[in-house]
Copies of this chain bind each other. A is one copy, B any other.
């Protein structure tokens, strides 16, 4: 499959994960092997795995790394006639000559010509250069091998104290995974509350649940380095404190991995992501990009954003694959929707939070409303807190945050659809949502909040 046949065009994909392999598969669905050659270059050994599943692997909810792999390189070759070259890194792109330079595990350098190129280089973890950061026991958690390495370390060393640096989604999921393994855990974060993509009042609910499960949270804390012993991490150092640790996970988020594109002269946006149009075309002829490495459009702020999530990567990959195969599809932007399950709580958000709304120039009205996830009289009615942000004057919904029991989180999708359609909280309050006693009070919690905010705004 991997030798070039001159009478058919060739697609080269850089990066064998969600967006790259979605694009490749989609292109293959449209064009058979006699019409399009496809070669995917993957730096690592895995293709198409669920990065979102890594914390569950560490927490042992998922028992083996293979379960996180949607399709192996062999399956892509066999079922899709897609050539996959693993342990092969793209080192540069020559857009004038239309070729990619590569180096494989043995150090062999090659040039791969392309007619269509898809850049799907993903995201790189933010890892500040701190003294001791290379010590044994300090882990990132971006790739499946990262997760496997951490797991092996935990199994082998049985550490008793963990520090997680960064209290975002992955950081807190990891903190819970440590708790599930009986490891004491401290989360240190630069902000006042964990989950910085939520407003602090909602983040506080998450912190309380974490603390109730035995995790410790250190706010306003900037890590300055690591104390080691025989090359193994022992303490995490901050401005004016230190935290004992046998194992450390760095979870400070990611940035678009656009270095290769930048070096090739492609346009890079203000967020550091590759600039693409709605079809996922970059500024260079014949070059497409998709997934965590690109910059996309936020439908509420109307600003460029980088949102590293598998859902977008997957959709963008399909859009690019359709376009590469000569069809038309468009990626219509994001809302910043996200969800997680943490310490017995479901936590979700969509749209803009208060800080983001202010940055985008909105003046907002907000409501925070607690209600229940079942009729009051139906046994097991758990609490839910819904926060809504609306534009002053127009009442247009701008964002939503939900923290609550089982069934709370996925309600964020109702608000995401409302945002997508630029609905007002007034319209939201009047909508025909489903009701039965095992599912909600007569007014769904999201409508109770919308009604409250609408009433307040008149």
Instruction: List residues of chain B with CB within 8 A of the CB of A440.
Output: 410
Which of B335, B348, B375 interacts with A432 by CB under 8 Å?
A: B335
Closest to A69 in B: B377
Are A410 and B439 neighbours in the complex by a CB distance under 8 Å?
yes
Given contacts A314-B443, A407-B407, A416-B431, contact A437 B337 (CB under 8 A): no
Total identical chains: 2
Chain B CB within 8 A of A96 CB = no
Which of B332, B378, B410 touches A56 (beta carbons < 8 Å)?
B378
The yes or no answer to A98 lying at the interface (CB within 8 A) is: no
Chain B residues contacting A68 (CB-CB under 8 Å) are: 377
Is there an interface contact between A312 and B407, defined as CB atoms closer than 8 Å? no
Most B Cβ at <10 Å: residue of A311, A332, A413, A418 = A413
What residue in chain B is nearest A169 (Cβ atoms)? B436
Judge whether A337 and B50 touch: CB under 8 Å.
Answer: no
User: Which chain B residues border A132 with CB–CB below 8 Å?
Assistant: none
CB of A378 within 8 A of CB of B421, answer no
Residue on B with the closest CB to A49? B377
Asked if A75 is at the interface (CB within 8 A of a chain B CB), the reply is no
Q: Which of A377-418 contact B (CB under 8 A)?
A: 377-379, 406-407, 409-414, 416-418
CA distance A455 to B198 in the complex (A): 36
> What range describes how many residues of A lie at the interface?
35 or more
Distance A454 CA – B332 CA, assembled complex (angstroms) = 15
Q: Is A52 an interface residue (CB 8 A)?
A: yes
Contact A62:B409 (CB < 8 A) given known A52-B435, A341-B436: no
Q: Are B434 and A67 in contact, CB atoms less than 8 angstroms apart? A: no
A315 to chain B: closest residue by CB? B430
Q: Which residue of B lies closest to A68 (CB)?
A: B377
Question: Is A76 an interface position by the 8 A CB rule?
Answer: no
Q: List residues 285-326 of chain A with CB under 8 A from any CB of chain B.
A: 299, 309-312, 314-315
- Contact, CB under 8 Å: A437 / B407: no
Of all chain B residues, the one with the shortest Cβ separation from A429 is B315
With CB as the reference atom, state the residue of chain B lying closest to A22: B442
- Contacting residues, chain B, for A435 (C-beta < 8 A): 52, 309-311, 339
* A311 to B420 CA separation, bound complex (whole angstroms): 24
Look across to chain B and name the residue whose beta carbon is closest to the beta carbon of A428. B417
A427 sits at the interface (CB 8 A): yes
The complex places the Cα of A437 from the Cα of B427 at a distance, in Å, of 31
| CB contact under 8 A between A416 and B436, given known A67-B377, A410-B411 | no
A331 at the interface (CB under 8 A from B): yes
Bound form: Cα–Cα A442–B318 in Å:
13
Contacts of A350 in B (CB 8 A): 432, 434
Given A341-B438, A439-B341, A443-B311: A431 in contact with B407 (beta carbons within 8 A):
no
Chain B residues within an 8 Å CB radius of A417: 414, 417-418, 421, 423, 431, 433
For residue A276, CB closer than 8 A to chain B, the reply is no
Residue A334 at the chain B interface, CB threshold 8 Å: yes
Q: Residue of B at shortest CB range from A336?
A: B432
A432 to B312 Cα, complex, angstroms: 8
Which A residues from 32 to 63 make CB contacts under 8 A with B?
Answer: 50, 52-53, 56, 61-62
The reply to whether B337 and A430 contact each other, CB–CB distance below 8 Å, is: no
Contact between A311 and B432 (Cβ–Cβ < 8 Å)?
Answer: yes
Measured in the bound complex, the distance between the Cα atoms of B299 and A61 in whole Å is 44
B53 and A375 contacting across the interface, CB-CB below 8 Å: yes
Further contacts, 17 of them, CB under 8 A, given A331-B430, A420-B432? A50-B375, A53-B378, A61-B378, A62-B378, A62-B379, A299-B432, A310-B435, A311-B443, A330-B430, A332-B431, A336-B432, A339-B435, A413-B414, A413-B434, A416-B434, A417-B421, A417-B433
24 contacts between A and B (CB under 8 A): A18-B442, A53-B375, A53-B378, A299-B432, A310-B442, A311-B432, A311-B435, A311-B443, A314-B442, A314-B443, A337-B433, A339-B439, A340-B436, A341-B438, A341-B439, A348-B434, A350-B434, A409-B434, A409-B439, A413-B444, A416-B432, A416-B434, A417-B433, A420-B427
Shortest beta-carbon contacts, A-B, top 10: A339-B434, A417-B417, A421-B421, A67-B377, A335-B432, A341-B438, A311-B435, A413-B414, A413-B433, A337-B432
